[in-house]
């Protein structure tokens, strides 16, 4: 089974992006799993183009895009990508779209088709903080999640895809003393557990990971 695993370049003034730090540390293969790693630009216009080229080139069975969610204390497995770009900060090309549809004729949202409950369960079993998230924001990560699911639904329904957000890592303690931080080794391990889980799971678990507002 071939996995395309992506992280992002730094953005917003940070020197590093923990998502790429984690992805770059994955091995090229695990038991029965081949891993292709790539770094995506943090730009609305180029990120999805780059991802589509990678999918066409490598023909993966599974695509997992990983990004930074600074301020979150857990690894978060994203459930849904929504059809909107609404940037609070400029992307790395200096572009700040406001209330722009990603696909003007597309549905309002797409669900990830990864076994998100099984992934949360497997990661939590190993003592790593993890949760389902019901919003990937409205910046480049949501753009990529919506875009990859649009590609899958319309062009390659055999692919399973989704998005994982990770917290800041402990080496950001000087930059962000107030932010929750996670050890990079735990993030790498969580991603490895998620890949193993996906390779062994065809039907997701029916367990509640819901929230009440
Ligand atoms: N996080 C941003 C974009 C790139 C990244 O790592 C986001 O959550 O949209």
Render pLDDT for 154-187 as a digit per residue (tens, 0 to 9): 999 999 999 999 999 999 999 999 999 999 999 9
Nearest to 65 by CA among 162, 159, 153, 151: 162
pLDDT at site 46: 98
- DSSP H or E stretch at residue 35: strand 33-40
Where residue 72 falls among pLDDT bands split at 50, 70, 90?
A: very high
7 lines ligand 1 (CB under 6 A): no
Find out whether 148 and 63 touch, Cβ atoms under 8 Å.
yes
Cα 149 to averaged position of ligand 1 atoms, centre (Å) = 17
How many whole angstroms from 73 Cα to the centroid of ligand 1? 15
- E runs forming strands in 157-210: 160-166, 168-169, 181-182
Q: Is the CB of 67 under 6 A from ligand 1?
A: yes
Q: pLDDT band at residue 90, thresholds of 50, 70 and 90?
A: very high
- Residue 111 tokens, joined: 């669900």
pLDDT, position 182: 98
Catalytic hit among 21, 74, 78, 192: 78
Q: Give the model's confidence band at 211: pLDDT under 50 very low, under 70 low, under 90 confident, else very high.
A: very high
- Indicate if 213 belongs to the active site: no
Q: Is the CB of 69 under 6 A from ligand 1?
A: yes
For domain 2-200, give the fold. Answer: Aminopeptidase (3.40.630)
Catalytic site residue from 21, 65, 74, 141: 141
Write out the H or E segment, with its range, that includes residue 78.
strand 75-78
For residue 43 and ligand 1, the question of a CB distance below 6 A is answered with no
Other residues' Cβ atoms within 10 Å of the Cβ of residue 213: 2
User: Best substitution site from 47, 140, 148, 187 to test ligand 1's pocket, by max atoms within 8 Å of Cβ?
Assistant: 140
Q: What is the average pLDDT score of the chain?
A: 98
* Annotated catalytic residue 141: yes
pLDDT of residue 96: 98
pLDDT tens for each residue of 15-69:
999 999 999 999 999 999 999 999 999 999 999 999 999 999 999 999 999 999 9
Q: Give me the phi and psi of 150, to 5 degrees please.
A: -65, -45
Distance from the Cα of residue 98 to its chain's centroid: 22
Segment 197-211 mean pLDDT: 96
**Is any atom of ligand 1 closer than 6 Å to the C-beta of 17?**
yes
CA quadruple 200, 203, 208, 211: dihedral sign: positive
Annotation marks residue 165 as catalytic: yes
**185 close to 99: Cβ distance less than 8 angstroms:** no
């Amino acid at each position: 089974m071939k996995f395309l695993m992506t992280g992002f370049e730094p953005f917003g003034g940070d020197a590093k992006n923990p998502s790429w730090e984690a992805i770059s540390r994955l091995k090229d293969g695990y038991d029965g799993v081949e891993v292709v790693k790539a770094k995506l630009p943090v730009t609305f216009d180029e990120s999805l183009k780059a991802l589509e080229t990678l999918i066409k080139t490598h023909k993966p069975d599974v695509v997992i895009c990983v990004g930074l969610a600074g301020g979150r204390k857990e690894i978060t497995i994203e459930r849904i990508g929504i059809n909107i770009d609404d940037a609070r900060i400029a992307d790395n090309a200096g572009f700040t779209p406001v209330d722009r549809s990603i696909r003007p004729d597309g549905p309002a949202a797409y669900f990830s088709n990864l076994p998100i409950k099984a992934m949360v369960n497997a990661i939590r079993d190993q003592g790593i903080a993890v949760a389902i998230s019901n919003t990937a924001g409205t910046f480049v990560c949501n753009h990529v999640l919506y875009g990859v699911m649009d590609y899958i639904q319309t062009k390659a329904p055999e692919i399973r895809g989704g998005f994982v957000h990770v917290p800041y890592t402990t080496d950001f303690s000087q930059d962000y003393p107030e932010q929750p931080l996670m050890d990079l080794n735990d993030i790498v391990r969580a991603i490895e557990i998620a890949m193993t889980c996906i390779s062994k799971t065809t039907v997701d678990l029916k367990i509640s990971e819901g929230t009440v507002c």
